[in-house]
Structure 1
């Protein structure tokens, strides 16, 4: 929830709702002010017209005519009717239904306001009135009043309805925005997972941009372009390293042969330097051959067919080959297996893969340490393939370098000075595993490292 609320989509929707609500509120307030002005203008005009009517009635029928008119108005008008107070010069009430003293509040131009308690449905309520006084001849004056309580009540009702509607709109908008942001975030996270899977697995794969719409679809297209450029750069780097290895392998082989001939022609006491040069040439040739072989497997298709390989016997041969090396370094080498384990593949490639991983495990394990080789089924189903786990008690590799160690020539910095090598062992192991449709993963052995090789 915190991740969704903090997302850009949800924040945008929330800001949009707040700005929209504030805008609607200001518009409604402006409309209310406009209609209120018109209402009270018409309201006051009706009072003035009623006063003019009373003056005409008084001029034609004197005070008695005014009294009859007031009675008729009271009998015929039920809702929103006028109220009157006719008084003489002494202030005595002569006619009308208003009290003589109502606590008038004086306004401009003869207008007054007051509050009066009226009975409604048997209950006394305070009602606001607007009134204006005018003279009737020389003897009398009349106050004509009209209640604007209905307009106030309607305004309160409108504002209460508006406030509730706005709150419900904001609440529903935030809920809808939450689900919209969650859906958008899931789509982006799905693209991220697909991107990570492509980077860790087959960089030649691409995101399915046609399955996405809008900005997420555009993002998928951009990521596909990024993958295209990345793959192109990777191919360029690999091509350079492959070309260097291919072009230097032949002259290096000739140099090695010449050094070998020189080594045989020199006396024993003078041939030690040449022998060291021969060893360096052999190491370089082995690296070049490994680079070319990795490139061949990465550029080719997945291995199909092939012979049946007895994994149990193959791993037994690898362990037997490295037992003397482990004993020399005082390292305990354990070997655990299952009976009748076999798979389809090329035995020499699988042998080299296991040998590379086991060689690294022994190389980086200190004296009195232990290395364990375990062959087991991937799951309880015996037809689900096999898992080979080679674990050691060495210094291990931090998780931040697990992906990097599968790159060609990459070596964790402390191992560069402590152990010889060219950083191709795990690259070769991964290439062989992928070639056979398998995977190579790393785990923390606490202490040490566990290399998990899965084969179908």
Structure 2
């Protein structure tokens, strides 16, 4: 899976395309250079054959056939790379002089140029050697053919081509391998960047910022941009929270007065009107509960409360919560089981923890149908501290909504208008967990929901 991630990354694809374009471009340039030098080589080769024909004709005119034979013998001492081969025939095609066979099988090209192959003995091994030749008629019906081998050019060309192919393959492979490791390094850095950002948003509430130490290049620019974005988000979220806190604070006092006045008016009314006033009082209590929850969440998130330092028995506290809600569960036909060690102590605020687990257990009972089961389980965490699981067999929370349910006033569409509540219960739970420097997660219980709270 890691290899596929690297291969599909933008960095690797960019490097792979760059290497392929580079190899293709270099190969094309080298091929053009090879064609240019090959053209110059064969141009020089043709010119040398023509010059040798002119020289040979001058020797024949000055010294006749005997002088030609002597000239051919003298040329045999010239190094093979610069020597020519000759064939002198009479009008009947009979060989009179030269080191070429009397009738080589050749191909004729435009301009009277000839090409043929001869099997020559080189270093005790016979090999086919390519020649470029041209013939010219002399006086007395004689014809001379001058040929020069271009085997060295063919051999050099083959060597250059093989070297080029191998170099391009090596360049491509090394480029792809280098691109893979470069992309893997870049992907690892981006994953670390994403993990740090996720931790800041998830655990720190956006209060911290991405570190700039050791970052450079585009990643530093991305970090700066991310920090500016976090600053702006923090300002906006703080503004929203401040507005909601101000509303809750400013309305709680007059709402409390209204509620108390209604309670006083209730005693002088007839039973029918008392029932109507009771419903209004219940609505006031619900609003006051929402305002108190908002203010409590804000107090916990702002850190205005001191850190919890009192040692308490979490097993006893959870036992009290289970005992408080057991009658409610029994009335609904739900089985409530509590499992814990004899004692498990940690530092924390007892009132806040009691309210947190009461909210979670109340939600489990509220959304578990009749005949369902709820388990409250306490155990020691492997890394120290405590781990609390609350599992139910209710309808659960869809995976897509689990990351949103801790937001203020967020409620599932399926429960909106059907179940009482103001959408602040899990927000308060998360604030209490973070206040105690713990973590909370939601998972599928197949069926139902499993809430896991880890406390240090």
Q: TM-score range, shorter-chain basis? A: over 0.9
Partner of 1:288: 291
Partner of 2:16: 14
Partner of 1:324: 327
Whether the aligned pair in 1 keeps the contact of 2:316 and 2:343 (CA below 8 Å) is: no
Q: Pick one of 203, 226, 229 that aligns with 1:223.
A: 226
Q: Distance in 2 between matches of 1:52 and 1:126?
A: 28
Partner of 1:446: 446
Partner of 1:182: 184
Whether the aligned pair in 2 keeps the contact of 1:390 and 1:450 (CA below 8 Å) is: yes
Whether the aligned pair in 1 keeps the contact of 2:87 and 2:99 (CA below 8 Å) is: yes
SS in 1 for 2:155: helix
Structure-2-length-normalised TM-score: 0.94
Deviation at 1:303, TM superposition (A): 4.4
Q: Which moved more, 1:86-95 or 1:238-247?
A: 86-95
Whether the aligned pair in 1 keeps the contact of 2:308 and 2:349 (CA below 8 Å) is: no
Q: Distance in 1 between matches of 2:235 and 2:40?
A: 73
SS in 2 for 1:208: coil
Which runs of 5 or more structure 1 residues have no equivalent in the other structure? none
Q: Pick one of 150, 160, 173 that aligns with 1:171.
A: 173
Q: Distance in 1 between matches of 2:429 and 2:115?
A: 96
Q: Distance in 1 between matches of 2:39 and 2:343?
A: 97
Partner of 1:307: 310
CA 1:139–1:433: 2 relative to 1, 3 Å: closer
Whether the aligned pair in 2 keeps the contact of 1:290 and 1:428 (CA below 8 Å) is: yes
Which runs of 5 or more structure 2 residues have no equivalent in the other structure? none
Partner of 2:409: 409
Q: Which moved more, 1:249-258 or 1:69-78?
A: 69-78
CA 1:366–1:95: 2 relative to 1, 3 Å: same
Q: Pick one of 108, 117, 134 that aligns with 2:119.
A: 117
The reply to whether residue 396 of structure 1 matches residue 401 of structure 2 is no
Partner of 1:133: 135
Deviation at 1:122, TM superposition (A): 3.0
Deviation at 1:219, TM superposition (A): 2.5
Partner of 1:153: 155
**Equivalence map 1:95-106=2 (5 Å):** 95-106=97-108
Q: Distance in 1 between matches of 2:200 and 2:233?
A: 12
Whether the aligned pair in 1 keeps the contact of 2:203 and 2:434 (CA below 8 Å) is: no
Partner of 2:261: 258
Partner of 2:7: 5
Whether the aligned pair in 2 keeps the contact of 1:309 and 1:347 (CA below 8 Å) is: yes
Q: Which moved more, 1:236-245 or 1:296-305?
A: 296-305
Partner of 1:436: 436
Structure-1-length-normalised TM-score: 0.94
Partner of 1:43: 45
CA 1:139–1:413: 2 relative to 1, 3 Å: closer
Deviation at 1:138, TM superposition (A): 4.2
Whether the aligned pair in 2 keeps the contact of 1:302 and 1:436 (CA below 8 Å) is: no
Q: Distance in 2 between matches of 1:110 and 1:340?
A: 109
Deviation at 1:245, TM superposition (A): 0.9
Count of aligned residue pairs for this structure pair: 453
Whether the aligned pair in 2 keeps the contact of 1:303 and 1:435 (CA below 8 Å) is: no
Deviation at 1:165, TM superposition (A): 1.0
